[in-house]
A and B are shown apart, each in its own frame.
Chain A
């Protein structure tokens, strides 16, 4: 890819990707958001939908970050960032928090990814580099336990390598777990026969998305353009 195309690249901004994912969160959902772009999703859930956010370290019903100066070191999320409480919040210990996950009580989890395979396999914890210190956190529990797993990720790595591929090359986080992927270029579902291109970013064509995906894309008959608000 030329430098030109990198700088003037069409596609969604990170907040626009989060906005698109937020449209799929239904009223009354119990949701766990991963660190990074997934965290942003909470800002864009359409008005009128009441959503309860869960965080692995035992807070159900947390809200946005506190005003500066109001941080409480004993009220943090799984990213170890200060949060606030919403009315109806509850504290639980770690085993109960993961019982909510493992027991199938959390409706939706949105995570980042290093690689996603056409069969729904997810790799997001390790490159397998022998020098790397392994660190898995709660990701394996989330993908195995939460009913619907969505991924938000840039379509390719910084150097342009595809992140959506036939088979993951990195060590897996979970097998066949991903249902839908939101990228800067597209919304892609994991179907019975591989990736299904459902929606495409404005100014991006199907061929470009396919070129940047290392597995065949089945184009949905009702392929739509993502209508993310400008200026996000």
Chain B
């Protein structure tokens, strides 16, 4: 029997080793898998390469993982939060590496990684410092730059509902990077607000089919990042 459910977030992230590459879903606070990130902080893995659109907010979630010194390199489009974090200080001190990727190129690199496409050409960034050193090629009179696919050892993603097969539906704009990160990671670990019976999710509305998901853990009342920050919370 296929059963991708795991009992808790600690078990879900237990085997992530030092040096792993980890895609973390979310755009700002929407879709951020805070409980999985906190479990990863507790677990202690370090020297991580993290792929996320941003660098977190305040002192919880992704920002806390970075502040704890666990991240060797960030791959992101916009390393600024809505509230202050320790990222700028660590970056200026040379303690964290940064790869800046235009947001759509980041998304497409992840999709390509999940789809087995090693590279693609895009007009995004041509003529800017971001394209320097990359292969350029002309198609039908327009210049494009080659971008490589992005894969990862793990993905940490938040969804609304999931079943034992790993089928997922999301909540509103919290979907963002979740579906493509599940595709691009060798092991996609998903926290859902509710695990439902197999067959309960309408096949017409499943956004991520279970083939892209390896583990599902129920976090029934996930924290809301901006509320934690407003309360002055930090982690651990």
Q: Which positions in A face B, CB cutoff 8 Å?
A: 56-59, 72-76, 78, 80, 91-95, 97-98, 101-102, 121, 131, 133-141, 144-145, 171-175
Contacts and interface: CB of A to CB of B under 8 A. Distances in A.
A98 B177 CA distance: 11
7 contacts: A57-B27, A59-B172, A73-B227, A80-B27, A80-B29, A136-B77, A172-B128
B215 interface: no
B43 interface: no
B210 to A, nearest CB: 16
Interface of B: 27-31, 53, 77-80, 82, 87-88, 91-92, 98, 100-105, 107-108, 110-111, 122-130, 170-180, 207, 224-227
Contact of A74 (B129, B173, B179): B173
A179 to B, nearest CB: 16
Contacts of A139: 102
A95 B105 CA distance: 9
Question: Which 8 pairs, one residue from A and one from B, show the smallest C-beta to C-beta distance?
Answer: A141-B104, A98-B104, A175-B127, A138-B103, A95-B111, A94-B107, A74-B174, A80-B28
Looking at chain A's contact residues, the main secondary structure is loop
Nearest to A131: B92
Contact of A94 (B88, B128, B176): B176
B134 to A, nearest CB: 13
Highest count of chain B CB atoms <10 Å: which of A59, A80, A145: A80
Contacts of B82: 80
Contact of A98 (B27, B108, B170, B227): B108
